[in-house]
Amino acid sequence: MPTIYPPSKIQLSKNQKSIFLAGSIDMGNAIDWQQEIITHFEKNETYCFLNPRRKDWDSSWEQTIENSNFNEQVMWELDALEMADLIVFYFAPTSKAPISLLELGLFARNKNVIVCCPTGYWRKGNVDIICQRFGVQQTESLEKLIEKIKKYFLHNL
């Protein structure tokens, strides 16, 4: 099961379904929840994960439009979000994840979004209201999120 990381070009085979892993990274300080999800699908070539957790991320990069590395990262994420068959959000209770909140705002109207927002996340109320308003599926644990991913593709293949 392939995983594509930035800045690699996103190329999918004809029958692959892509899953963008949006959510808490906090410049590498959040738990690697993305790998936990990927591990559950290791033997399934049907899925391709689009993982924004860049392996060569440098937290000293100035976060400006002029910084080519930063610009490349943001553009890769936006492209991947737009092309994904499913967008999965995880809001870790120990992180703020402001960019993930922005991305949820951009894509909540899509019907291909599932959100995991455990109790304790600092803006859980906002996330809950957005999900309710736009009919976004929601869960409170990574285990249940994995089950929702499996069910999503069973019903949408």
Q: How large a percentage of the chain has pLDDT more than 70?
A: 97
Q: What is the CATH number of the domain that holds 110?
A: 3.40.50.450
> What is this structure's pTM?
0.94
pLDDT of residue 141: 96
Amino acid at 109: R
Q: How large a percentage of the chain has pLDDT more than 90?
A: 80
**122-128, long-range: CB < 8 A, 24+ apart:** 122/93, 122/96, 123/91, 124/91, 126/101, 127/91, 127/101
pLDDT of residue 28: 63
Question: What is residue 112's DSSP assignment?
Answer: S
Sheet with 113-116, edge to edge strand ranges: 3-4, 47-50, 17-23, 86-90, 113-116, 137-139
The 10s digit of each residue's pLDDT in 65-123 is: 999 999 999 999 999 999 999 999 999 999 999 999 999 999 999 989 999 999 999 99
Q: Quote the number of domains for the chain.
A: 1
Q: Is 108 within 8 Å of 134 (Cβ atoms)?
A: yes
- Provide the residue range defining the domain that includes 83: 3-155
